[in-house]
Amino acid sequence: MRIPVTSIFAAALLLATASARAATVHVASNGVNGSGCGTSQSPCRSIGRAIANAASGDMIVVGPGVYGDLNHDGVLGQPGEEDPATFSPGCGCVLGINKDVTVLSSGGAAQTVIDGASVGANANVLVIASAQLGKPGKGFMVTGLSGSGSAIVVDGSPVKIMGNQVFMQGSGSGIAPVTNDGEEVLIQGNQVIFAGTGISVSGAGKTAKQNQLSGCAAGIVAGSGAVVSGNIITDASSFGILVSGTPEVAGNAIYGSGSIGLAVGGTASDGAVVQKNNIFDNGQAGTMLANCGLYNQGAAGVVATNNYWGSSAGPGSDPSDTFCNDMLGTTIWTPFATKPFKVKAPVKP
């Protein structure tokens, strides 16, 4: 079938127009907000103002510095600060990403802070569009909020959250997509420290991959359809990974959880598959959960084969972790791995 030349010309013109529209909007700590800001010579001061000035498909590039609540008084919208009441009304957030844009830092997370530590809100950053926040070496340091607010909340699709560092101080979540199986969210190469829940991937379309989590109460919470792979979870005070339903949990490393390495919750997790993970040094000595690398809370037929438990002899007493079945739970654990897997979760701040 021959395609008319006019159709080819029209398609090429449409593609060229879209490419011409895409632009880079600049933000800097010495910038000045205004309806025309965003050039390299006249950058905006706040990320929200830059997003308001951007068109769909644009890239927002943020220079080193502090953004958000600049004077740490818990009140937003003062000169140079993020102003969600103007640019993302009703978001309950510090910064709302409500356009299909890519938001990157030029200097990386170590040099670029979105600070909401003194703000009482539901989220520091709320993504409600098809957008990307950060990439390796081009991410942000995103603080937690006062109280139980989360650092990064996602209610859009497709969304990528990559290369960011999340430093929490309250009981909220680090990175939390909403429960919506129709939304695709990739959470990759981030670092989350001291969150109530580090990362929550509660349903289909959600992937948590190659992240580092340390000192959280719960490392990763995973629901049916989610993919959890290549993450390193250390020093969780409660559990490293909580499995509900039937997510894919493979290739992770869970070390030093104070209570449980990997918790499989109840009968809703029948048929859950947990494979090729390193699970050891979990469970507080002297407690009923000592050495409890995997705790099956009543699910039948949990497949936990080919995991490395801490020694070549498989699950058991120190130095290995073991699995613990509660009530009617059954766990299939053989064959087991006799040497640790290589798990790498590179984070480029």
Rounded average pLDDT over 6-21? 46
Question: For residue 171, what pLDDT is reported?
Answer: 85
pLDDT(10) > 60: no
The yes-or-no verdict on residue 93 having pLDDT over 50 is yes
Per-range mean pLDDT, top range of 15-19, 63-67, 319-323? 63-67
Q: Between 2 and 314, where is the model more confident?
A: 314
Report the pLDDT value the prediction gives residue 197, as an integer from 0 to 100. Answer: 96
Query: Mean pLDDT, to the nearest integer, of 247-251?
Result: 95
Query: Which pLDDT does position 12 carry in this prediction?
Result: 47
Mean pLDDT within 73-102:
97
In angstroms, the CA 290 to CA 6 distance is 72
SS in 3 state form for the chain?
Answer: CCCCHHHHHHHHHHHHHHHHHCCEEEECCCCCCCCCCCCCCCCECCHHHHHHHCCCCCEEEECCEEEECCCCCCCCCCCCCCCHHHHCCCCCEEEEECCCCEEEECCCHHHEEEECCCCCCCEEEEECCCCEECCCCCCCEEECCCCCCEEEEECCCCEEEECCEEECCCCCEEEEECCCCCCCEEEECCEEECCCEEEEECCCCEEEECCEEECCCEEEEECCCCEEECCEEECCCCEEEEECCCCEEECCEEECCCCEEEEECCHHHCCCEEECCEEECCCCCCCCCCCEEEEECCCCCEECCCCECCCCCCCCCCCCCEEEECCCCCEECCCCCCCCCCCCCCCCC
pTM of the model: 0.92
Euclidean distance between CA atoms 46 and 30, whole angstroms: 10
What was the pLDDT predicted at 295?
92
Q: Which of 134, 126, 129 is nearest to 109 (CA)?
A: 134
pLDDT in tens, 210-239: 999 999 999 999 999 999 999 999 999 999
Cross-strand partners of 228 = 208, 249
Question: What average pLDDT does the chain have?
Answer: 91
From 326, 324, 282, select the one nearest 304 (Cα to Cα).
324
